[in-house]
Structure 1
């Protein structure tokens, strides 16, 4: 349902978005994935005929049944598509399609694998390691992501600086309104990079980013000790430049639990997460709404339901693309949330990010998608 807060944010977006985007560069780091989009087979009926496993719950039932019987579980799957993935690839592809010329610093191989060069041909690639791999299985009610993080497991500030000097990093970052980074979950030593940027890069910038954006991704894979150890580095970075952390509902709950919050509602969990992390802004996003928390309070903006999405993997990344675009353009918090919801909603319906013209057209009729 289109509530008053969402309606106001939509009106603000329509009013404040420029007809053309500014000519500025954007920078994203520090990962790089080769993604294989997979389909699981429920039952094969012929050489070319099969019933697709539609629901993640069906996979759970299949595995649970094997456990109950004490037998191995064998499931057929096949690759439908391959693509460049990870934070930098999703952001690079989306911002290039919007009309920017992104600089991407990540693990693309040496030389970069052809999949990155072909799919991210509108971006400047600066590789700092070998790529990682993900098998992404799409279901109607969710997705299963199987990751092999490779060189990112050991990517820290020293390894990053071995591939790119402080001056090279400064040249890439200087003048960009926003620097985005992901993912803490798959770059466990990302806090050392936050510390290195703060201590060595920021002091030599002449036109530093106004905001640093961090996507932690599925931090449930990190130990409590590793998460706790990284908190001071993130808070210290926020003392130098305002930091925005954006997480989905499950990730937000992890941060809230780490802060010993007993909250069960996403808004309250987001408040607890921001307090724990010590950052300027915390954003929590889910399929039906997004919440932003800063020192002035909270804002909540809803998004319409997509009954049969074309693609769900990386929908959260595309929400973040919209939110970062709003920050880059100087929009207010609710408007940035609305823009994030719109980009994600377009992606769910089309399976690709929008051009800027398509985004403006989508926003002009966005209210019609609410039931």
Structure 2
């Protein structure tokens, strides 16, 4: 296992890579409108308010009121787009990478909330977006989406809307294809088998990338079935799976592994599980570090510059994924791919927007200076 340090990172290699970054990405198939709220604890005499800062504080409040009701005022923080395609696409679009997003952005017309995303990415809509109510705290968020339309969306529905020829054209020059979130797509396995058998023949992408999101929403048997599908695909096209620490806790438990407080032990368990599921890469990213097990490169562990006071947390994982996907378009080493992904998400949570190329380069230099 390699436990790399930022002090040894070759900034010149990463800067040259980012400045010359090129490739085409296709992301699908979701679409969310996030209505983000903060929870008020008390109102003060001057009509200001004190927010509930931490998720545990809110959880304790709920537990303490378990035999009665509770009423807490909500303060609207923002209304924005969200979900895998929009958040990850935003990260890639801000790096000026040609990115096509296939998702649910509006049946009759694309909802105006997505209009600024259209300036950076090509949007192809196949339905109405899911509305998600989010309670945001400084250390995390509670997301409550209504998923009816997305959960009932099948491959037949998708193909009848987008059409075989249009889908062929979209995928023709794609370097990386990514489909998310698995947890919201009961028909995920069918999507992947159809794409592999009927679209990934003469022009195969160089990599498939996945984020499963809330694994616990679906059964252990379902995820094992999906791994069997992806393992077969992995023989043709390398497959990467990305997990945050909460998703990793659940996946590790399926293989009788406890998610350790030790990053080195997490790295070893990541390698153990990747060997079982048979994918090319398994990535685990946390606020403190990122680790990756690769079939060809072994295990790599890289520290993250932990942020004590994030400005935003919603979309942080998607931004990490966007950075990692961008880093997979060339021939970077594992630690360099993790460095770009870490820098992308660290910049985002501190500045509330995803970095452009120069901002990403500057963030890499800043992190190296801090952690060296």
Q: Shared fold by TM > 0.5? A: yes
d(CA) in 2 for partners of 1:342 and 1:73? Answer: 40
Cα gap change, 1:229/1:18 in structure 2, threshold over 3 Å: closer, same or farther?
closer
Cα gap change, 1:19/1:55 in structure 2, threshold over 3 Å: closer, same or farther?
closer
In the alignment, what sits opposite 1:213? Answer: 209
Matches within 5 A, 1:302-321: 302-321=303-322
Q: CA deviation at 1:270?
A: 1.6
In the alignment, what sits opposite 2:50? Answer: 51
Q: SS at the partner of 2:4? A: helix
Tell which deviates more after alignment, 18-27 or 151-160: 18-27
Bigger relative CO (Cα 8 Å, ≥ 6 apart): 2
Tell which deviates more after alignment, 259-268 or 173-182: 259-268
Question: 1:248–1:284: 8 Å Cα contact kept in structure 2?
Answer: yes
Matches within 5 A, 1:1-371: 5-7=4-6, 10-11=9-10, 14-15=13-14, 17-18=16-17, 20-45=19-44, 48-67=47-66, 70-110=67-107, 111-203=109-201, 206-261=202-257, 264=260, 265-296=265-296, 297-370=298-371
Q: SS at the partner of 1:18? A: helix
Q: SS at the partner of 2:343? A: helix
Tell which deviates more after alignment, 307-316 or 72-81: 72-81
Q: CA deviation at 1:8?
A: 6.0
Structure 2: gaps (5+ residues) = none
The Cα offsets for residues 286-326 of structure 1, whole Å up to 9 and x where unpaired, read as 11111110124200011111111111111111111111111
Cα gap change, 1:9/1:160 in structure 2, threshold over 3 Å: closer, same or farther?
farther
Question: 1:326–1:332: 8 Å Cα contact kept in structure 2?
Answer: no
Tell which deviates more after alignment, 142-151 or 55-64: 142-151
Q: SS at the partner of 2:5? A: helix
Q: CA deviation at 1:146?
A: 1.5
d(CA) in 1 for partners of 2:10 and 2:369? Answer: 13
Q: SS at the partner of 2:341? A: helix
d(CA) in 1 for partners of 2:148 and 2:8? Answer: 41
Q: SS at the partner of 1:74? A: coil
Tell which deviates more after alignment, 212-221 or 116-125: 116-125
Tell which deviates more after alignment, 10-19 or 342-351: 10-19
d(CA) in 2 for partners of 1:225 and 1:4? Answer: 34
Cα gap change, 1:303/1:262 in structure 2, threshold over 3 Å: closer, same or farther?
closer
d(CA) in 2 for partners of 1:13 and 1:83? Answer: 36
Question: 2:15–2:361: 8 Å Cα contact kept in structure 1?
Answer: no
Q: CA deviation at 1:4?
A: 6.9
d(CA) in 2 for partners of 1:73 and 1:234? Answer: 45
Give the count of matched residue pairs. Answer: 365
Question: 2:3–2:302: 8 Å Cα contact kept in structure 1?
Answer: no
Question: What is the root-mean-square deviation of aligned Cα atoms in Å?
Answer: 2.1
The Cα offsets for residues 190-245 of structure 1, whole Å up to 9 and x where unpaired, read as 12211111111112xx4321000001112122122322332222222212210000
Q: SS at the partner of 2:76? A: strand
d(CA) in 2 for partners of 1:80 and 1:253? Answer: 30
Structure 1: gaps (5+ residues) = none
d(CA) in 2 for partners of 1:196 and 1:9? Answer: 44
Cα gap change, 1:335/1:65 in structure 2, threshold over 3 Å: closer, same or farther?
same
Q: SS at the partner of 2:10? A: helix
d(CA) in 2 for partners of 1:86 and 1:196? Answer: 23
Q: What TM-score do the two structures reach when normalised by structure 1?
A: 0.92
d(CA) in 2 for partners of 1:240 and 1:321? Answer: 23
The Cα offsets for residues 3-38 of structure 1, whole Å up to 9 and x where unpaired, read as 971226632674563363345322111111001121
d(CA) in 2 for partners of 1:4 and 1:244? Answer: 20
